[in-house]
Structure 1
Amino acid sequence: MNLVVRNQPQPAPMKLTITPVAGSGSKEPVPSRYALRVGDIDVMVISDGVLPLPTAMLAHNADPVARAAWLLDMFLPQDAFDWPLNAVALRSGKQTILVDAGLGLDPDLHLPRAGQLLQRLAAAGIDLPSVTDIVLTHMHMDHVGGLLIDGVKQQLRPDLRIHVAAAEVAFWKAPDFSRTQMPNGFPDALRATAKKFLAVYRKNICTFVDEAEVARGVVARRTGGHTPGHSVVQLASKGERLTFAGDAVFPVSFERPDWHNGFEHDPEEATRVRVRLLREVAATGEPLVATHLPFPSIGRVAVDGDAFRWVPAYWDY
């Protein structure tokens, strides 16, 4: 996959320097990880599984007829479909960085096809003690839940640094769900998960205001919108770039960036963040990865009139 900024020389094909577990992944019918390189930074996109949700969650402010037409055009079901869940593992210098930690295991939500990240990290040969840093785009449970599975904290190194925006930590001390449109049970689950995460990992949390350089060429930048402390992670090395957009971008966001996602705590600000981010990556030509775009969620963005167009990257075999 030629994931380079326009007018830059093509990098030599490279995979993440890991040792696969023998026979790993043999029971899975589809791929669950994809590796590439951005300059000197090794990148692996890892699927945490899928999260079935009502399609209205994609655009609760949209005309139902327009939303139904979009779903029809995309060959998607009208009532509910599977939202992808993606996380990213990075290696920059001596640091191994995990961007988001997946859903984990919440038996009350009955989501057996999600929460696969930890077993897929293991299948890729990435052991938890090797992780030096974790960056959280935000503290929704599908981004922090994997850290709350029994036995996980004991495997992580004591000096692990968990980077998250200060505004995000402050928000979850008294979260406001008044502008969200979530299925029953989700607000309570989100609140409980964030509260538990802050209690369990309070000594490991490293907060930042606007941005933080987590490792050489790896910068977390607060955008707000989706949640007050929502952040993106931007990679830059040897003239190449890549942005992990977290939950700033969803499948409908390219054609209809003004449609509001049900999990957005400030829908209007989320729209402004989304448009600004999509314009940025369209201007640079860099690859974009996002949590809820179809795996491996790697592609580019093109401006299309007043909206945008998603251009999936070709897989490199």
Structure 2
Amino acid sequence: MFAVDNTARQGSQQFNELVPSRYALQVGEIDVLIVSDGVLPLPTATMATNVDPADLSAWLDRMYMPQDAFDWPLNVMVARSGEQIILVDAGLGGQYAGFPRAGQFPQRLKAAGIDLAAVTDIIITHMHMDHVGGLLVDDVKQRLNPDVRIHVAAAEVEFWGTPDFSQTSMPTPVPNVLRATATRFLEAYRDRLRIFHDRYEVAPGVVVRLTGGHTPGHSVVDLASGGERLTFAGDAMFLVAFDHPDWHNGFEHDPEESARVRIGLFRELARTGGLLVASHLPFPSVGRVAIEGEAFRWVPVIWDF
């Protein structure tokens, strides 16, 4: 069990940080914690692979972002519904050279008073390295309950048997690392996988559903309780997508389908007024979606202290 509380306390963390790394809120009776796993530096060219570079450059200028590389935020989520504690994605892990500011979620979870051994369920939105890599860290593997249930779409498991990178545009070393990481994840946790096909209720008010697009088995997590809603959208959208939902991201295995999924989720969230959290929106990434003409607008919540 964990408390929903964003108030800093003397001695509440066992390591020093200059910025907040977790954000707590409630969705009806469901306690929610958004935890930053850190940031991952990436070339800005991966943000839009189907447009004139000058158009991307102009957008970066307008957003006061650097032209060559940017820090990709990494967010994971923890939800408590009844007696179940559900971890949604697990970040990058600290085993990859060159990413010293990623792989932070285990110690940040501990600082929030959440024991990994208490996690009853893990939902994997998709099996890219920055979503399952954290589960391959020895300390994490040793601390997890051996009976933890790991929920992942059947289409995702099938895809990583023979993954197709033909429509992606990633830095050269990345596909091999993604492939190897997915293989290691399946080898380590296959006996704990709980495979679903289209939609599965993991806990009261906590539903994972297949969207496809980013990967064939990409899924989102919907929380619903007491008339309130929150969707953890994984990699269905990125910051640039609100202005340009049709721009393709280099990590999308089916860019056209990804755009359709993204626009559908934007429209759904604008219609319901539910909260949005996503893996790679700036921490804590809690906000809502508004529609303005042909574009969408991300409306961040005001932090509640």
Say yes or no: TM over 0.5: yes
Tell which deviates more after alignment, 34-43 or 61-70.
Answer: 61-70
Give the superposition deviation at 1:152.
2.0
Counterpart of 1:55 in structure 2: which amino acid?
Answer: T
Q: Does 2:135 match 1:181?
A: no
Question: 4+ residue stretches of structure 1 with deviation over 3 A?
Answer: 20-23
Match among 277, 280, 286 for residue 289 of structure 1: 277
Give the superposition deviation at 1:26.
5.0
Give the superposition deviation at 1:105.
1.9
Match among 279, 288, 303 for residue 267 of structure 2: 279
Q: Does 2:65 match 1:76?
A: yes
Aligned residue-pair number: 301
Q: In the alignment, what sits opposite 1:9?
A: none
CA distance in 2, matches of 1:238, 1:152: 33
Give the superposition deviation at 1:22.
3.9
Q: Does 2:224 match 1:230?
A: no
Q: In the alignment, what sits opposite 1:254?
A: 242
Q: In the alignment, what sits opposite 1:10?
A: none
Match among 1, 16, 25 for residue 36 of structure 1: 25
Tell which deviates more after alignment, 265-274 or 53-62.
Answer: 53-62
Alignment of 1:1-317 (within 5 A): 15=4, 22-24=11-13, 27-108=16-97, 110-317=98-305
CA distance in 2, matches of 1:153, 1:188: 23
Measured on the aligned residues, the alpha-carbon RMSD in Å equals: 1.4
Give the superposition deviation at 1:153.
1.9
Consecutive unaligned residues of structure 1, counting only runs of 5 or more, are 1-13
Give the superposition deviation at 1:159.
1.3
How many percent identity over aligned positions? Answer: 66
Give the superposition deviation at 1:15.
1.4
Consecutive unaligned residues of structure 2, counting only runs of 5 or more, are none
Q: TM-score, normalised by structure 1?
A: 0.93
CA distance in 1, matches of 2:30, 2:181: 31
Counterpart of 1:81 in structure 2: which amino acid?
Answer: F
CA distance in 2, matches of 1:129, 1:269: 37
Give the superposition deviation at 1:306.
1.3
Counterpart secondary structure, 2:194:
strand
Counterpart of 1:73 in structure 2: which amino acid?
Answer: R
CA distance in 2, matches of 1:153, 1:177: 29
Give the superposition deviation at 1:97.
0.4
CA distance in 2, matches of 1:22, 1:212: 39
Give the superposition deviation at 1:27.
1.3
CA distance in 2, matches of 1:310, 1:238: 24
Counterpart of 1:102 in structure 2: which amino acid?
Answer: G
